[in-house]
Amino acid sequence: MKKGVYIIAIILILTASFASSSYVCSDGNNLSTSREEIDLWKSNNLNGVYAGLTRGIETPVIKQMEARLLLDSKSFTLTDDSLIEGELVDLTKYNVSLVNSTSSFADIKINSETKKINVGEMETIGGYKVFLAKSDGDYPGTASVKVMVGKSELNLPNSNATVITFNGKKFVLQLFSASPESAIIDVSKCINESAEITFVADAPAPVQPVANTTNTSVSNQTVNASDAGLNSSVNDSNVDSSQNATGTNGTTQKAVRLEDSTTRTVKVAVYITLGLFAIIGIFLFAKYMKNKRLREMPIQANI
């Protein structure tokens, strides 16, 4: 079982190392990014995205985190059946009230629809997503019930960025960290509201264009192709010294391509080396723990 966990961790580390992509604005500008912190069961304005954190998950052994968000949400504390008014970013209004509750569930009413929700769960009531964070006491009686009401859920892992549309605008959300108490999220957007967010994957460097040369006359070019290969013969006449410029340019292109290839090779070698160090470290740690358990085992006397 432990070996399987180690293998999964190594695969995730190497996968994260090779994955590389980015987002840009269609007008050619970079995204404007703001790092925002949000506490559990609270709703904040995250650089233009109104969201609440219903749960933060952290798995240190495989370096995975997740934030569960409720978009366009507000938090309410209900104590009785009095109506509390909420409002979405598009100015749509709704009413929230408590019908009854215990320490493990609550009946929540949104506008004209009522539904039972268990603590820590989410239900759709009256077209809205409702999350029951906690329920203290009983109603009728003395109660304090915390709920979050919003329009949609979003599970945000730290493995990749997520593009969302909120209030007619696009945003890129990247989870920076998460814990059971809070989450830190990088929220990016285009400053120009009319610009679109575009995904850009890593691609090989473009080949440098060949400079134009003058006073060069090339004639009688013949290209003979066969199934075995491609044979080219070029008969040149009236070519002056400017032809040397073309040759030099071709050499420059080859040097650029060679440099790009070398850079990619070095990157791959670095990633592989880091992966090997990680494997060796995990192996040594497992061996150390095994020897430690053997030393701590009581020595039984021979009878």
pLDDT digits (tens, 9 = 90+) for 105-146: 999 999 999 999 999 999 999 999 999 999 999 999 999 999
pLDDT in the model for residue 34 = 94
Question: Could you list the residue range(s) of the whole structural domain that residue 56 is in?
Answer: 27-72+153-201
Query: Do 142 and 276 sit in the same domain of this protein?
Result: no
Query: Do 82 and 103 sit in the same domain of this protein?
Result: yes
pTM for this predicted structure: 0.59
Q: Please say which residue of 186, 201, 216 terminates a domain.
A: 201
Residue corresponding to tokens 């989870």: 175
pLDDT in tens, 38-47: 999 999 999 9
pLDDT in the model for residue 74 = 95
In whole angstroms, how large is the CA radius of gyration of the chain?
Answer: 31
Q: How many domains does the chain have?
A: 3
Query: Do 62 and 79 sit in the same domain of this protein?
Result: no
In a domain, 300, yes or no: no
Query: Do 55 and 167 sit in the same domain of this protein?
Result: yes
- Confidence label for 161 from pLDDT (cuts 50, 70 and 90): very high
In a domain, 229, yes or no: no
pLDDT at 97 over 70: yes
Query: Do 37 and 177 sit in the same domain of this protein?
Result: yes
Query: Do 59 and 159 sit in the same domain of this protein?
Result: yes
Read off the tokens for 123: 């239900």
Q: Which region holds residue 284: left if phi is over 0, alpha if psi is between -120 and 50, else beta? A: alpha
In a domain, 179, yes or no: yes
- Confidence label for 265 from pLDDT (cuts 50, 70 and 90): low
Query: Do 68 and 158 sit in the same domain of this protein?
Result: yes
pLDDT in the model for residue 268 = 60
- Confidence label for 19 from pLDDT (cuts 50, 70 and 90): very low
* Half-sphere exposure for 100 (CA within 13 Å, toward CB): 1
Q: Which residue has the higher pLDDT, 192 or 235?
A: 192
In a domain, 65, yes or no: yes
Q: Please say which residue of 137, 166, 201 terminates a domain.
A: 201
- Confidence label for 288 from pLDDT (cuts 50, 70 and 90): confident
| pLDDT average, residue stretch 182-197 | 92
Burial pattern 238-253, b for ≥16 Cβ within 10 A else e, equals eeeeeeeebeebeeee
Query: Do 115 and 11 sit in the same domain of this protein?
Result: no
Query: Do 57 and 170 sit in the same domain of this protein?
Result: yes
